A and B are shown apart, each in its own frame.
Chain A
Amino acid sequence: MKFILRRLLFYLATLWIAITLNFAIPRLLPGNPADIIFGKFRGNVSPGTLRALKSALGFTNQNLVGQYFTYLWNLGHGNFGLSYSYFPASVLTIIRQDLPWTLFLLGFSTIIAFTFGTGLGIISAWRRGSVFDSTLPPLMLFLSSFPYFWIALLLLYVFSITLGWFPNAHAYTVLNLSWPVIGTVLYHSVLPAATVVLTSTGGWLLGMRNVMISTLAEDYIVMAQAKGLTDRRVMLMYAARNAILPSITGFAMSLGFVFGGLVLVETVFSYPGVGFDLVNAATNDDFPLLQTLLLFIVLAVLVANFIADITYVRLDPRVRAER
C-alpha cells in the first residue's frame, strides 16, 4: 500500500532527524559541548570510563562526520552511555525499567479517554441542542483549559491527601507478578489515569462532535433515513463510521500532546515512568539520559502514529485504492 509506505518513510525520516538533532544541538550551543554534558562526571569516573562515555555520545577525537557515525553506531547497539543522576546505572537500564510504566499508563488512560470522549461526542452530536449537548461540551471545554498537572494536583489533594482514598505516589508497593500486586498497580494508577481522562476527554468529545455534525449533514445520511433504517444504525454505521476517520487522524496527531501531559502527571504523582525521569534529568543536567529519553519518547510516538495509520487504512476503503 502506497499510503502506508509513504507514512513509514516519513516516520523513519523523522526518527533520523530526531537522532541528528540530538547529535547537533549540544554542538550548536556556545561553549564546549563536552564540558556541558560531561562536566559533572569529572572526578566520579576513571579517565577510561569517561572516554568510553564520551565516545558513546559521539565525542571522540574524530572529525564531525566520524563522530556522527560513531554516535549512530553506538545508538544502534544500545549503548547510550551512563546516567549522571542515577550513576552508575546505564541509560539503557533505566529506560528499559521505566518505559513500560509510561506505556501502561498512557495506553490505559488514553484508550479510556478516547472511547469515552468519542462515544459522548457521537451522542452529543446526535442529540444536538438537547440538555445533554448544551451542558457537557462547554463543561468539558472548561475542564480541558486547566493545565494537566493542576488537575493532577487537585486530584492528589482531594482524593489522596485529604480523603486518603488513593495512594499519593509511585506505581506500586511491592513488585512481583501476582494478582494482589496487579491490584495495587491498578490502584496506584487510578489518580494519574483519572487526570489524563478528565483533561483529554474534552478534546475527543468536541472533536468528534464537530465532525459528526458535519457528517450528519451529508446526503447519505438522508438516504439512510429514507431507507427506513433505525436511528441507531444510521448514527453508528453511517454517521459515526465516517466521522471517526478524522478522529483517528486527530488521535495520532495529539499523541505528542498527550505525552507532554503524561510527563507532568508522572511528576506530580512521582510515577516511575520516563516522563518523571525526563524532568529529573533536566533538573539535574543529566544530559546523556535526557537525550536518550527524548529519542525513546519520539520513537514511541512514531510507533503509535504508525498503528493509527494502519487502523485508518483498514477503516477507509478510499485510501486503500490510492494509486
Chain B
Amino acid sequence: MATVSTTSLQTADEPGASHVPIVAGQPHRFRAFLATIASNRKAAIGVILLLIFGIVALIGPWVAPYDPGQVGAAFDLTPSWSHWLGTNQLGEDVFSQLLAGARPTIVYSVLAGLIATVISCFLGLTAGYLRGLVDDALSLVINVFLIIPTLPLLIVVAAYANALNLRGGYIQTLVIAFTAWPWGARVLRSQMLSLREKDFVLASRVSGDSTFRTIWDEILPNMISLVVANFIGATLYALLFGVALQYLGLTDESQVSWGSMLYWAENGDALLLGMWTWFIPVGLCIALFGTGLAFTNYAIDEFTNPRLRTQKVRRRSGATSVLAVATPAMLREGDDAVVA
C-alpha cells in the first residue's frame, strides 16, 4: 500500500477544535483577556470587586468618620446614624475600623503574595529548567513544605517571633510568604518542564541563545498568565492566613486590621452580647475581597484553558494540562464560565 499519498491530504484540524493557546505577543493577549472579562459575568464581578476594595484600601483611613483607634466612653453601642456599625467594647467606631483596617489587611496580603510569587517563580523555574540534582533537591523542599500543614507551622513560627518581640505586620508578611511559595513553585515547575521540551525552545537553544535569553524571551511569555494566576492565588492564601493569625492574637493586635477586629470581637464577647455588627460585616468584606481574587483568578484560568469553557472541545492526545491538576489553591478557585 502506498504511503506517499498521505502527504497531499494531511492538513488542518477538524473545524471547531482548539487548543491551549501558546500566544506570542502581549498586546493581542491583553485585549483578548479584556474580551474574556467583558463576556464572562464571573470574571467581571471579580475584577470589579478587586477595584472596589483597592479603592477602599487606598482612601479608607481618610474617609473614615472617626479615628479607628480612638477609644471613648461610648462603648457597646448598637448601630445608629452617628455610628453606622456601632462601637466596640472600647468605644471605637466599628465602621471606621472596617474602612481603615482594609489597607493593612489588603496591603499585607498583596505584599506577601508578591514575595511568594517571586520566590516560587525563581525556584520553580530553576528546578524545572535545570532538572537533575538541583531539581531533585528543590522538589524535595517544595514537597516537604507542601505537606506540612501551614497554619500550625505559622502558629509555631509566630509564637517564636512573639517571644522575641517581633510582632510587626511586616514580619507576619514575610512569614506567610515563606509558607506560600511552594504551591506556585510546583505548578510553575511542571509548566516549565513541559515547555522546555517544546520545539521553539529547543530551536532557541540550538541557535545559541544563552540560557537566560531562552527563558526570558521564549518560555516566560508563555507562562505569564500562569504566574499572574499564581500571584492572585498566593494573595488569597495570604489574606486568609493573615486574618487567621490576627484573629488568634498572635500578631500585633493594636494595629487595626480586619483580623484584629475579629480578635477584639471575640474578646469583647460579641457573640454573647449579640453585637453582630462587630464581626459579620468584617467577615463579609474578607469573603468578598477573597471572592474577587478567586473570580479574577479563574477568569485567567479559563482564559488559558479553553477546555473549561462551556463550549466543549475534543482533545486529540491524552495529555492533561497542568491547570487541570487539582491543587488546593485551585480547588478553591477553579471553575468554569456560566453559559453566556
Contacts and interface: CB of A to CB of B under 8 A. Distances in A.
Contact of B248 (A214, A254, A282): A282
A30 B164 contact: yes
A25 to B, nearest CB: 6
B313 interface: yes
A207 B334 contact: yes
17 contacts: A138-B42, A141-B333, A145-B287, A147-B240, A147-B247, A153-B279, A207-B326, A207-B331, A217-B313, A246-B326, A249-B326, A250-B328, A253-B146, A253-B328, A290-B155, A294-B153, A305-B147
A87 interface: no
A109 interface: no
B283 A282 contact: no
Nearest to B183: A253
Interface string A309-322: 00000000000000
Contact of B286 (A13, A31, A146, A210): A146
Given A14-B148, A26-B160, A141-B291, A210 B279 contact: no
Interface string A235-269: 00000000000110110011111011101100100
Contacts of A294: 152-153, 156
Interface in B139-162: 140, 143-144, 146-153, 155-160, 162
A148 B146 CA distance: 20
Interface of A: 10-11, 13-14, 17-18, 25-26, 29-31, 36, 128-129, 134, 137-138, 141-142, 144-150, 153-154, 156-157, 161-162, 202-204, 206-211, 213-214, 216-219, 246-247, 249-250, 253-257, 259-261, 263-264, 267, 275, 278-279, 281-283, 285, 287, 290-291, 293-294, 297-298, 301-302, 305
Given A13-B144, A146-B286, A293-B152, A285 B312 contact: no
Contacts of A26: 160
A141 B339 contact: no
B181 to A, nearest CB: 14
A226 to B, nearest CB: 14
B167 interface: no
Given A217-B313, A250-B325, 17 more contacts: A14-B144, A147-B243, A147-B287, A149-B247, A203-B331, A209-B335, A210-B326, A210-B334, A216-B312, A217-B314, A249-B326, A253-B147, A263-B152, A275-B152, A283-B250, A285-B163, A298-B148
Interface of A is mostly: helix
A291 B310 CA distance: 49
B336 A210 contact: yes
Interface string B147-191: 111111101111110111000000000000000000000000000
B101 interface: no
B152 A278 contact: yes
Contacts of B334: 206-207, 210
B330 interface: yes
Nearest to A199: B332
A161 B336 contact: no
Contacts, number: 210
A257 B335 contact: no
A54 B337 CA distance: 58
A211 to B, nearest CB: 6
A102 to B, nearest CB: 11
A153 B283 contact: yes
Contacts of A149: 244, 247, 262
Contact of A36 (B163, B279, B314): B163
A149 B334 CA distance: 22
Interface in B197-247: 240-241, 243-244, 247
B324 A18 contact: no
Interface in B311-333: 312-315, 318, 320-321, 324-328, 330-333
B315 A218 contact: yes
A145 B294 contact: yes
Contacts of A141: 291, 294-295, 332-333, 335
A214 B326 contact: no
Contacts of A211: 324, 326
